[in-house]
Amino acid sequence: MIRTLGLTKRFGRITAVDAVDLDVREGDVYGFLGANGSGKTTTVRMLLGLVLATSGRMEVLGEQMPGAGRRVLPQVGALVEGPAAYPHLSGRRNLALFDAMGRGTERRTRRARVAEALERVGLDGVDDRPVHAYSLGMRQRLGLAGALLQGPRLLVLDEPTNGLDPQGIHEIRTLLLELNAAGTTVFLSSHLLAEIEQLCTRVGVLDRGRLVVQDQLSALQGLTGRVEVHTPDVARVRQLLNGVVEHADGERLLVRDADPAALNARLVGAGVRVRELVPERRRLEDVVLAATSASADRFGSDRGADGHRAHGEAEVLER
């Protein structure tokens, strides 16, 4: 759905986007993650033909961009930072104008299209208020409604939950998952790890303009080769598994063992009361922080208890 090769954008001496190779596949909910200033918005703007690339190639829906923009963009719903609207007009009126500007949109069905888009984003009850009376969250929803008008094959959203309260974030997340289940590919940028983790199937991470990670979320959250065991019989487990208990925190132990079933059988066989036993998975946060060391603090979290680098693969990709 989106492929770029060596996509680069320079603003004078600043390289905002540096040789990025994006690979967004049909059916993905692709999370484009990066700290503030890492180049997300600039990339999104290039994909939509709003900014010209300095160098590199881009394909959207299988066609070369920006050349094929007239054919491609009507099939792409977009929400880029700070959606614009006429403040003195209602949300409904704004959407009708927006729809009228779209290519080949049928006038006869406009009213129904606008009503459906307003309903989808939960604005149908307040649609006659002028937009200047909208909260930031309502404006964001209106922008999203605009992106949905044409029933797009691909949605490109720059920080779609910006300014929304937790309830609003939950509603947008549900909406995006519904749209995706109905066949829409979603590409969204965010600086929020938790948002990406809850929503996305595939993840790309930008660090100072460079794509340092790109993989399926499930692969990034791969097994660590450790098993987390919760038990009141901590001393007994330590005695039984001499040397492979790597970490203990109260009744929670981390055991170096790649076979949870065998471990469980051994512990239970020895009379240990096992409350919970799960294979440990890498956290997206650790993968991202390992790959973006210089900007770690900008994601607003620490490196974890032992400060370790989580994953060799991410280190290879690191500059």
Q: Which of residues 182-211 bind ligand ATP (CB under 6 A)?
A: 191
Of 134 and 299, nearer to ligand ATP (C-beta) is: 299
Q: Which is nearer to ligand ATP, 11 or 86 (CB)?
A: 11
Determine which residue in the list 2, 4, 42, 150 makes contact with ligand ATP, applying CB under 6 A: 42
Identify the DSSP state of 171: H
Among residues 7, 31, 34, 188, the one that binds ligand ATP under rule CB under 6 A? 34
Give the span between the Cα atoms of 159 and 44, in whole angstroms.
Answer: 11
Name the strand (E) or helix (H) holding 120: helix 110-120
Q: Is 39 in the site for ligand ATP (CB under 6 A)?
A: yes
33 near ligand ATP, rule: CB under 6 A: no
Window of 39-47, 164-172, 247-255, 310-318 that interacts with ligand ATP by CB under 6 A: 39-47
141 binds ligand ATP (CB under 6 A): no
Calpha distance 176→281 (Å, rounded)? 26
Task: Pick the closest to residue 46 from 94, 97, 75, 10 (CA basis).
Answer: 10
Task: Rank residues 18 and 28 by Cβ distance to ligand ATP and give the closer one.
Answer: 18
Q: Which is nearer to ligand ATP, 114 or 289 (CB)?
A: 289
Q: By 3-state DSSP, what share of the chain in percent is helix, strand and coil, each rounded to 5? A: 35, 30, 35
- Spacing of C-alpha 148 from chain mean position: 18
Q: Which stretch binds ligand ATP (CB under 6 A): 30-38, 82-90, 193-201, 271-279?
A: 30-38
Q: Name the pairing type of β-strands 63-65 and 76-79.
A: unpaired
Nearer to ligand ATP, 44 or 85 (CB): 44
In the complex, what is the shortest distance from the CB of residue 205 to ligand ATP, in angstroms, rounded to a whole number? Answer: 11
**Residue 95, burial from CB neighbour count under 10 angstroms (0-12, 13-18, 19+):** buried
Which region, judged by CB under 6 A, interacts with ligand ATP, from 8-16, 141-149, 227-235, 256-264?
8-16
Question: Segment near ligand ATP (CB under 6 A), from 31-39, 63-71, 96-104, 178-186?
Answer: 31-39
| Residue 156 beta carbon to ligand ATP: minimum distance, rounded to whole angstroms | 13
CB-based burial of residue 292 (10 Å sphere; 0-12 exposed, 13-18 middle, 19+ buried)? buried
Q: Total binding residues for ligand ATP by CB under 6 A?
A: 12
Among 11, 67, 268, 278, binds ligand ATP (CB under 6 A): 11
Q: Is 13 exposed, middle or buried (0-12, 13-18, 19+ CB in 10 A)?
A: exposed
CA dist 219 → 126, 157, 222, 282, 313 (Å): 42, 24, 5, 9, 11
Burial 149-173 (b: 16+ CB within 10 A, else e): bbebbbbbbbbbbbbbeeebbebbb
Q: Which of 6, 14, 86, 300 binds ligand ATP (CB under 6 A)?
A: 14
Kindly indicate which of the ranges 11-19, 120-128, 260-268, 300-308 contains the residues binding ligand ATP, using the contact rule CB under 6 A: 11-19
Per CB under 6 A, residues contacting ligand ATP are 11, 14, 16, 34, 36-42, 191
